[in-house]
Structure 1
Amino acid sequence: MATSIHRLLTAAVVLGTAALISTYSFHNCIETSKDGQRKAFQCVHRHNKTMSAFVDDLPTTTINLTIGVTPVTHIPRDSFVSLPHLQDLRLDRNNLSDIDYLAFHELHELKSLNLSLNNISQLNPDVFQDLSNLTFLSLTNNQLKQLPETIFSTVLELNTLIMRQNLLTNFSAIATSVSHLRNLRILDLCINNLTSLTHTEVTLPKSLTTLYVCRNNLLTLGCKWSFLASIQVLDLSYNPHLPTKAFAGVDLGNINYLRLRSTNVQIVEFLNLSNIRPEHIDFSGTGINNTDKLKDLCKTMQRKKVKYLNKLILGNNGIKTLSNYTLSQCPNIITLDLSRNEFKPTNCLSFLTGQTHIQSFHAEHNVIRSLPSCKVPNMVQFSNLRDLSYRYNRILLVNKYAFYHTPNLQTLKLNINTIAYLDNLALKNLKRLETLRLDNNLLTDLFAKTFEDLSNLKLLNLRNNRISVIFNRTFHSLGKLTTLDLGGNKITHFQPAGFDGLKNLSKLYLDGNNLKEIDPSHYFVFQDRLTVLDLENNQIQFHPGSPRSPFRNLSKLRDLKLSRQQPYGIAVLPDTLFQGLHSLRSLYLTDNKIVHIYPKTFDDLTGLQFLTLDDCCAGVTQLQPGVFKNLRNLTKLTVENMGMQNFSKDVFGNLTQLRTLQLNRNVMQSIPVDALESLPNLQYLDIRDIPLSCTCLNRLLQNYTLTNPRIQVVYLSTLPCLHDVTQKFYKFDGTVCFIDLGEYLFFCTAAVIFLFTVIPLLYVKLYWKMKYSYYVFCAWFSDQWRSLRDEKEKCKYDAFVSYNSSDEQWVMEQLLPNLEGNGSSFKLCLHHRDFELGRAIVDNIVSAVYSSRKTICVVSRSFLQSEWCSLEMQLASYRLFDEHRDVLLLVFLEKISDRQLSSYHRMRKVMLKKTYVQWPGSDCTDQEQAQDLFWNQLRRAMRTGSRLEREEMDQSAAPSKV
């Protein structure tokens, strides 16, 4: 109760002062930094139309900023002056059409600016004036028709300039604007309306090595001989009217990659006209569509004395067939690409006869229907071939020994075909194969002999086929396999020895199959190696009360995926399900219909760092206390839309390393702050689409989200109230929450009871102490205290006599004559004789006590009942106990029982510390002798000094009665 009140009072103070609010939430952005330094932000799919709505609440430390898919049309001047350290700014996919002068003012550290996919039609000449460190600029997909000549005059560090998909027509103006950019390396002008590369006296920067002018309307080049001398990569593709003669008088000697696809260039004529080396040309889409043209090309390259072609690209030429020895007259080809043609037969690569150096052959996106057997007499062997790809064809069957002529293949890609029949011996002789792609085909069965020769295989992808059963010893030869992908098939079960031989498997993908249960014996063969197991989208169910975990053999498993089990998802997570998975780092349980999670389910997952339970539960979920108690290493937890009704410290309190918590789309109406405070490392909190009530129940939560500088609350300013969506959670009025009449009355009543209980106790215990303190203060205030303390041992009197008026006769007749007369030289202070007239009685008492070496208290029953005597006693005992001065002498005139003295604590304390004297009564047998002894004892006590060391008091002998 006291803690809650303290929090409420703290919240009231903080909320009462607007200047103290330090919300770690942003109106339209989400921080994406990993180090918690508030440096990277994404502001995507927001509906605000002004740039200030995105920028104003961002910290000055921001380095990366993305603002995209918004209706913003205008960037005003000085929009980013509050972000002086910005280095990467993305403003793509908006509706920008107007950028003011100095819109990027003060962004001296900006290195990358992306303005793609907007509606910008013109730019101010000085819009980039302050971007002196800019290295990347993209203006892709806008409406630019021309560029101001000086627009890039200040961005001298620019390295990459992309202006593709605009309406630019004047290449000369573009060349002029970039001519001084000494660091420019890449210039992209594709998809514009350029008709030529005609230019004035300007030259392209010598640093420029890559120029893209594809998909324009080039009719000629129109440039001087040396204009393209520094260019190494030149793309002129998809300029359908560009003729061969356009290259006359143009130096292409430094080009190492040239694309001429879909132009009007006659390739053989071009080779004879230009000084470019043939091996640097991409011949795809250049009209080489038959054997004769290909032979002419080869002969031309021979005349040019080309010995090696590192890459011969012949894609998009409409090639249908190639006869034997077609390429025999070509230079030695290292890589051949025949993709995107109409190529049908391969004839065991007989058209490559004579190309013994070839290492890579790609025939993707063709119409190949089958791969024949290649184990025939006199078959040409391509022993150097390492990479073979037949992806995206129409291959229906692969015959036996289909790759017998390529024994040293390391990568074989047969994926994305219609292979329904793979002969048991189709892959025979591929003993060095390391990667095999058979995914996205129509395979139904795999047998023991299918992979028998693939002893060096490391990756096998069989995803998206129609395999239903894994037979015994299917993979028995794949001892080096590390990754096996069987996802997207129709596997219902594995035969007992289905995984035998997989001694080094570390990643196994079985998602999208029809598995209904997990047999631990299946995974026993790779219990010490498997790190990734994907079982998503199957039909797996777990039974409560299962004695052992189905994953118990997978001690090294790091990633486990169990999401989206069909048709209704996992219903129960037993206590034993994850037993032994101490190495697990990521667990996926998304999209299930779990009705109950046992408290001990996650107990063994001590190393877990990521857990997702999104959409995992059926209806309202009540998480049991302690369900996450051992997940102390968890850093990210997503529990979106799981119907969670409770969020408490008992459930989440042990997640001490949690940094990211996604709670959105749950049904709790309140979130206790103590539960959030138990997460000391929390940095990211998403509570969107939670029906939070704007009542006193969430007043502490409102204050927590507004004042916590450590935790980012996603889009806090847009969170609505449960019963009024027009009201925002962060600013609902909670003033009334602090006026709780019941609590107010309780504390008032408690205070009154406390006072009435304590005051009598204080009165009994400390009455004289307080009264004495009051009198001492009064004396000090009257300037008496200091003078009295300074007198120390120099006193006017030997003793001050404190007595009650009823005992005055004994004092005058006995005490005074025996101490001042009869040969004694003591000087006594008596109040009726020595007190100063007209002076306050308190001042006189204090002066008498401190002006006398001793204080003699004449104790009787009347003395004990006297208020003034008690004060004098208190003063003297203070000097005794607090100042350590031996100043107090007790003289008892009559016998007083211990019961009568029990309430006089100060006197009892003195009697326990000091010797006291008793006046002999009438019952004494030898009264005269007793009185002589009494006076001798008293005079001797009077003669002792007043200084008493603490050690002497603490170690003094027990008191005695004389």
Structure 2
Amino acid sequence: MLSIVFPMFLLLSMQPTEETEQVNCHTFKHFALYNYVCPPNSQKRIEVAIKPTEHMILVCFEMTNFDNAILPNLNFSSTLIKVSIQNCPIPKNGFKKFLDEFNIAHFVELTFIWKYSNETLEKENFEGLNQLTELVLYRNNLASIDTNLFEHTPNLRTLKLSENNLTKLQNDIFKNLNNLLYLTIAENKISELSRYAFRGLRELRELDFGNNKLREIPSGVFQELVNLKVLYLNYNKLFSLGVNPFSTLKNLIHLALEGNMLTHVSRKYFENNEKLSTINLAWNTNLTFEDKTFSLFNDLVSVLLSNSGIRSVPENLLRGTTNVFDIDLQNNRIPSMPENLFSEMKSLHDLYLNYNEIKSLHPNQFQHLKNLINLDLSHNLITSIDKHLLNGVERLETLILSFNRLKMIHPEIFLNKPNLVILLLNNNKLESVDNSLAALEGSKYIKMINLANNDIADFPYKLMKFLMKNENKYYYATSTEVISHFIESNTIEIYLGNNSISNIRLDYLRPGVMGYNSILEVNISHNPINCDCKASDLVENIHRSPRDGNVILKYDSLRCAGPPDFKNMNLSNLLEKKLTCTLNKNCTTTGICDCIYESKERTLIVDCSRRNITLIPNLLVNEMVKYYDFIKMKHLDVHLEENSLQEVPTEANGYHNVTNLYLQGNRISNIEWIPPSIEVLNIENNSINKFDNSLLNMLNQSNVKKLFLRNNPWECDCTTKEFQKFIREHISQIHNATDILCHFMEVPLVNLDESMLCPIRRGYTLVILSVLLFCLIAIIISVLLCLIYQNEILIWCYSKDICMRFIKEERIDRSKKYDAFVSYAQQDQDFVMKQLVPKLEEADPPYKLCIHVRDWIPGEFITKQIANSVKDSRRTLIVLSNSFLKSMWGRMEFRTAHTAAMEEGRVRVIIIIYGDLDANSVTDDFKSYMRTNTYVEWGDPCFWEKLKDALPRRYKKQKRRTRDSNEQDIELH
């Protein structure tokens, strides 16, 4: 027999594909698992999968008792954490002795599952397993539990008894499990609980009793569960909760009661559960509430009341409960909501009122919900909405009003909704939306508007236009006559065939606007299309495959009605044609130039050639683009060739965005400026004799692709070396570079060597140059070292009090982004944001502050952001109040700043005392700091002077003009 052992050398030697055999067993390795089938090819067998040092899974097939002879010969030299035995009979001599056959040194988690077992587990089965911390007995057909079953497992932390056949829990069955933290008895058939069933479980944190048949809760059954935080009683058959069933559960945070038969909920049920955070009462029967049932629960975050047949909600149901994050009242029978139900819920994030019978809402229903993000009012009977309904709900991101009876939307209802992302208005009776939704222009993050299944007759072009400008991605529209209807397969069909449409503005229906998963089907058959520049998008969409884009065009026959060059031509043959529009509005101040827009390359062409012009015409491009909304200009071509111009255009003439500039055949002698976006520049046949260095720098910084420079009187001397270098480096961009000839010499400039271009003496200067070069290199290296280690040198000198008259704190802190990081409690935000921050940021000079609600990056770990804020700030302002002393994050921010200051040996923390402090709440670290450091008090007449004295000094900045006319900021010390 080949002995299989798992010391480290065997793990390293076995290959993933290697298979070995031992007597009666087939052994193989699959990834990190070692697998054994004993005996192979037999219906009655054992399969073992082992991940060394972690777990072993043993599965039996058609076995009623163990035959040790067929077990694999395994000898573990390392510890396993988990052992799982599935579909196997209970070992006769207990689990410990059975697993000793594998020589497992130690394990702490045991799972035993035998769905078809008729045996009973006894305490002897677990003898010798004192080390167990987790025991899983799923699906073992357990009908009862002996009171001493867990006598040999006193160290259990987790016990799972789900999916058995338990019908009753006797007294004291868990009496030996004093250390148990998690108990799961879900999915049994328990209909009765003995009063002392949970005696001894004082350390229990979570109890899952869901999916049983419990009809009532015995008085005092939870009496000893003083540390319980999570209780699941969901999906039982509870008609009532009795009298104060949870009175001893003072640490309870989460309570699940959904799926029962409760009809009334009283406040007395939860009188002692002040820490309750989540209450779930969904899926009960015709539920009613006592007034103030959940009032004054300061920690309550989630209230789930859906699918419970609720017909009315008391106005004071949640009075004084200010931290609720989400309320779910969907799928009930509520006809109206009390006006002040949500008046104190400033933290409410999600509100679900869908699938009710609401007909109208009070104008002030949601005015206090300033943090509301998601509001679902769909599937109600709402016929109109007051324009003030959403006043104050400025953070709203999702609004669902679908499946109501709305006929119109007031234009002001969506004002000041900058964060709105999803708006669903489908399945109403809306007739027009263009003006109604105009206020959405301020919603910069809008992603989806669903207007399906309404009575809209006119396509909302205005709405589409601003959505496109905002680069929104999702839009669903419907129209009963002209446009389209919404299909749940995300396909939008637009029928426009057999009309007199000459221009179809498909630029409003780009795939980027319609959304990544939406398909727009447009039928435009038999329309007299004018095939000018405005038809460009239409032509391109005809050739776009449905799988390549979001727009599908459907047509039987589509031909051009004009212009004459394209008349009767099929639009499918126009893809390679340049479609143009001659523009009637003047594009220059002279009024003698032709203006043409070509849509394929998105080029605006200004043609002023051969008009005997002597002065540069000013361009009116911006006015043109504003006047013609179909112009999507990417290139601007200006033709000024064959005129009598003596100078080039300047930025003052409106040529900043010119990409192609044609100036050949004029009388130009000097060039001082070129457009920064220039791509093609033609200055052939002029009187230009040189390019100075500033012009060469402009060309190097531009995106110029083609230069035409021939037939100019180019000078060739020492001043031309940089021009020659430019030609050689950009020879591929210069048209016929060898035709650029030196004046009088008639030889190509690019071919001249340095001696011909600029002859010089070479005598004794070589030695001098070498010495100067050596000195220059030494100076550069010294300067670089000082610059590289500047901060280290300054900090070292500062810490040693060396050269202090030459070192200023501003230099030490100049790498810091902020003057101060303001640390405060959420309750003090009004004081900070309305008084402290404005006063400092509007000071002269202003302070640059770091505020977590404004400057922190969403999604980053809070601890990391605290450390970064302190590190990047010259001071840390602590707004010390009673609320701050209760804030865990506030204390962390103080300790982080204080620690950093102590490491540097400098005063970095400034304490602002705000309000009267509770002396008992002030911790020792704050008292110690305040005894040895300066602090300021809000309300002190000299508060601002003292605060600014404590803050780092700020310096005004002045400007001076450098030799190249660029402005720089110089700090005054």
Structure exhibiting the larger radius of gyration computed from Cα positions = 1
State the TM-score, normalized to the length of structure 1.
0.49
State the TM-score, normalized to the length of structure 2.
0.49
More strand by share: 2
Q: Which has the higher contact order (CA 8 A, sep 6+)?
A: 1
